[in-house]
Structure 1
Amino acid sequence: MATYKEIQEYVQLNFGYKPKTCWIAHAKEINGLSPMTATNRKDLNKREHPCPKEKQEDIKKAFQHFGMI
């Protein structure tokens, strides 16, 4: 399983931006993976910054690259 930092580096190298860790966690949920729960998360039932739809495919490609899905 790749770390959030590895996923951020992969996305930055291949797609030109660094995704927020909250986007990665949301994308993990969307793709059936178990995300880590941030210690500073205010509400476990609500996302402050969900992953934008146009970024989800890029992060999914990172998951595939690292063999997570």
Structure 2
Amino acid sequence: MPTYQEVQSVTKKRFGFTPKSCWIAHLKSEHSLTRGAAPNRQSLDSRKHPCPDHRRDDLTTVLIDMGVLPRGT
């Protein structure tokens, strides 16, 4: 499983932006690929910095290509 830094590096090279680690965690959590909420998370019901819609497709593409997310999602 690639690290968040590796995902950020690949995304920067391919699409020209560096995603926040919380965006990566948001997409992974939507597919039940996280161990749960971080102990320092303020609210379990909402995210302070969810992945923005205009970055979601590009970041999802990178996560699929790197084997983090399953294909066909």
For the residues of structure 2 that align with 1:14 and 1:57, how far apart are their CA atoms? 13
Output the TM-score relative to the length of structure 2: 0.78
Partner of 1:2 in structure 2?
2
Q: Distance in 2 between matches of 1:33 and 1:55?
A: 20
TM-score (norm 1): 0.82
* Identical columns (%): 38
Structure 2 unaligned blocks of 5 or more:
none
C-alpha distance 52-43 of structure 1, shift in aligned 2 (>3 A):
same
Q: Which has the larger radius of gyration?
A: 2
Gaps of 5+ in 1: none
| Ranges of 4+ aligned residues in structure 1 off by more than 3 Å | 36-40
Q: Residue 41 of structure 1 aligns to which amino acid in structure 2?
A: R
**Structure-to-structure mapping, 1:39-58, within 5 angstroms:** 39-58=39-58
Q: CA RMSD in A?
A: 1.6
SS of the residue corresponding to residue 40 of structure 1 reads coil
